[in-house]
């Protein structure tokens, strides 16, 4: 388990991370979400002991991380760290040896991951011959080739096209199903919604909200209703029920006010039109994110009056 307690980090007068707490459960996929510059990478670098927190504590299985833990950890940094002129297979096997992985096991794992991520044909190539997306997948393999228990991924989907995004998302999901504890940062809400069990949303280095996806949707989700109909809707009759409506000739989308009942909306609509379809949509994490971040302070690091 990874636990952060009231962690803070500033760079000069810029407060990058301010009083952040989180804890992962064994075998879960935990997402740190936020806009660019929110402090996501800084949090992961502090967990990895690349940066030292100015305040608070970070515990790994209840104690400070130590050198012996590093073989149990996989880390994908946002910055690229491959040797551009070294063959991919030789480079990745070298990285595995640094984690004390048996050579035959490393070769077997490498072939399996290259095949899974559609990179087998590039095994003997060098990174300088690869596209940005292919390089990202190779770097992902380097972070999990030693079969770590804990995996920290900083923007793992950066540079990937939609097809390869799905391939990598499925791989991360399967690692979670195998009992790996995975913490990753992203500003891609759709991916986080598909694979995370819990999330932390941050902005300006501050926590905006954290918890399970279900609890966050129950608390902050909007009731959105899509209606297909024949006839003409009297939109004035919906005052007090609907906060926003998007209108088209034969269908409409309604955002209900807090506490409004979809059934009440349906009753009113049935008095005016023939309803062909009436669907209450589950709130998307994207919409919740936009609402929360849009209502918070301007995106960007916060300045502090003192230097820590």
What are the tokens at 16? 């990058």
- Of 280, 289, 291, nearest in space to 255 by CA: 280
Q: What is the pTM of this model?
A: 0.81
What is the CATH number assigned to the segment(s) 2-217?
3.40.50.300
**φ, ψ of residue 144 in degrees (nearest 5):** -125, 5
- Give start and end residues of each alpha helix (H) in 117-229: 132-144, 162-177, 189-195, 213-220
Using only C-alpha atoms, the chain has a radius of gyration, in whole angstroms, of 23
Looking at the chain, the domain(s) classified CATH 3.40.50.300 span 2-217
Spatial neighbors of 86 by CB under 8 A, at least 6 apart, are 126, 127
* pLDDT tens track, the chain, 308 positions: 899 999 999 999 999 999 999 999 989 999 999 998 999 999 999 999 999 999 999 998 888 888 888 889 999 998 888 999 999 999 999 999 999 999 999 999 999 999 999 999 999 999 999 999 999 999 999 999 999 999 999 999 988 999 999 999 999 999 999 999 999 999 889 999 999 999 999 999 999 999 999 888 888 766 889 999 999 988 889 988 998 888 888 999 998 988 888 999 999 999 999 999 999 887 788 888 888 887 655 444 454 433 32
Residues of CATH 3.30.70 domain(s) within the chain?
222-281
Q: In the CATH hierarchy, which top-level class contains the domain 222-281?
A: alpha beta
Both tokens of 108, joined, read: 């077997």
Q: What is the DSSP letter of 80?
A: -
């Amino acid at each position: 388990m990874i636990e952060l307690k009231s962690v803070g980090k500033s760079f000069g007068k810029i407060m990058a991370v301010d009083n952040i707490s989180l804890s992962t459960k064994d075998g879960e996929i935990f997402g740190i979400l936020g806009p660019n510059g929110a402090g996501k990478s800084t949090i992961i670098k502090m967990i990895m002991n690349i940066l030292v927190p100015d305040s608070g504590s970070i515990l790994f299985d209840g104690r400070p991380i130590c050198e012996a833990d590093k073989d149990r950890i996989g880390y994908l940094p946002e910055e690229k760290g491959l040797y551009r002129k070294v063959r991919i297979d030789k480079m990745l096997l070298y990285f595995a040896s640094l984690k004390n992985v048996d050579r035959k096991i490393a070769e077997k794992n490498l072939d399996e991951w290259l095949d899974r991520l559609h990179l087998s044909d590039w095994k003997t190539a060098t990174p300088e011959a690869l596209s940005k997306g292919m390089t990202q997948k190779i770097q992902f393999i380097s972070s999990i080739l030693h079969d770590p228990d804990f995996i920290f991924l900083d923007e793992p989907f950066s540079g990937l096209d939609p097809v390869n995004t799905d391939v990598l998302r499925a791989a991360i999901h399967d690692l979670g199903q195998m009992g790996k504890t995975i913490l990753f940062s992203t500003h891609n809400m759709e991916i986080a919604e598909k694979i995370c069990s819990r999330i932390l949303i941050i902005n300006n280095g501050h926590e905006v909200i954290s918890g399970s996806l279900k609890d966050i949707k129950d608390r902050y989700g909007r009731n959105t209703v899509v209606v297909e109909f024949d006839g003409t809707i009297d939109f004035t009759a919906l005052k007090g029920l609907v906060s926003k409506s998007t209108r088209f000739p034969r269908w409409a989308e309604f955002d209900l006010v807090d506490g409004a009942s979809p059934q009440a909306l349906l009753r009113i609509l049935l008095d005016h039109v023939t309803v062909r379809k009436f669907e209450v949509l589950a709130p998307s994490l994207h919409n919740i994110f936009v609402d929360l971040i849009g209502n918070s302070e301007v995106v960007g690091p916060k300045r502090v009056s003192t230097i820590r």
